[in-house]
Chains A and B, each alone.
Chain A
């Protein structure tokens, strides 16, 4: 078979280990893997929601251990997979509120990695701060695409919150036949 017709492929294998650094240890996360237009998901699940870790006592880490096993085929290298996560906390009254947004471009070089996704959330004005303090309702993003893009961030005031830990192995296939060094 001619090597030109072999489509380059990417495997992402690993786990979302957990989250740490939030005000409450009762958290869960929603995640999604974003790719460009010329990428195709061949197998695996590219979005989901993790376990809700409702540990009472204070641990240094909230555990998700959410398995990732994704297989992509691509026609171009632009639009490399971006991992996009939002973490929600649950307070003592059972109210869910956003604790942070974050995104991370997966490593292009094959190998085994331990990565941290650093999270932030919008702060809002004085009214939102009061609402956040008394009602535990943090302001959310309406357009969540801005988490994975660099546009339209000017003027937005955010608070740095915690982090989400990833353990991923990246395996690439047939990129070298097209002259791409990973």
Chain B
């Protein structure tokens, strides 16, 4: 039976390539007699085969990671934004990393719902947007970064940029609370700013995920700051010690 056939009898069974990124010879093979084939434990009932699609799929085999990579698991949530004078906001996130990094699971980018402030208050805008990604690499160069674009409505309800933010994910395993401060580009003159505000097209960056993560080319770019976004990261790392890296003080 071809495992990749979508019409195979039990579509709940994991495909052969699912969850596997290591060497297939290192899988844990279950030992002992197969209970499903035992005549006493599994009596023959007429019509049993009709219910085979409801049979519980076998538990996934233990998969060992490939030792030629180190792995970083990042999960957490983008909790809330603190913006003055902004009533509604939605957020788009992007994880960017260097060319040697690969994402093995999870969503690289995504967008949140539109959050409104509670009526009559000037409190924070809560998204509580969860994310969960796994990275692997052989080199620390190009450590993954999180880039956030906040988009809100202007006085006519048109979508304009309210702020960008960027930050590396923490290098130390554990739980980290981060506050990313937001900034947005400023128009080159008051007239351009006024026309942009009328047309609903304020100054914005062309490709923020690929430009904000770079350390060069930032000089003489005028930015206005305002607002912040609170993020909680949970980081775990695998195989860093085998590569010789120390990420944490021994004390």
Contact = CB atoms under 8 A, between A and B. Distances in A.
Interface string B146-188: 0000000000000000000111101110001000111100100
A67 B248 contact: no
Contacts of A104: none
A169 B144 CA distance: 13
Contact of A49 (B167, B180, B219, B223): B219
Contacts of A174: 244
A17 interface: yes
Contacts of A112: 170-172, 176
Q: Which of B140, B182, B246 has the most CB of A within 10 A?
A: B246
A63 interface: yes
B5 interface: no
Interface residues of A, number: 48
Nearest to B223: A51
Interface in A150-172: 167, 169-172
B200 interface: no
B251 to A, nearest CB: 7
A65 B167 contact: yes
Contacts of B181: 17-18, 61, 63, 65
Interface of B: 140-143, 145, 165-168, 170-172, 176, 180-183, 186, 212-216, 218-226, 243-251
21 contacts: A6-B244, A11-B245, A13-B171, A18-B225, A28-B219, A42-B141, A43-B141, A44-B141, A51-B218, A52-B219, A55-B226, A59-B226, A61-B181, A67-B213, A69-B142, A111-B171, A111-B172, A112-B170, A174-B244, A177-B244, A182-B246
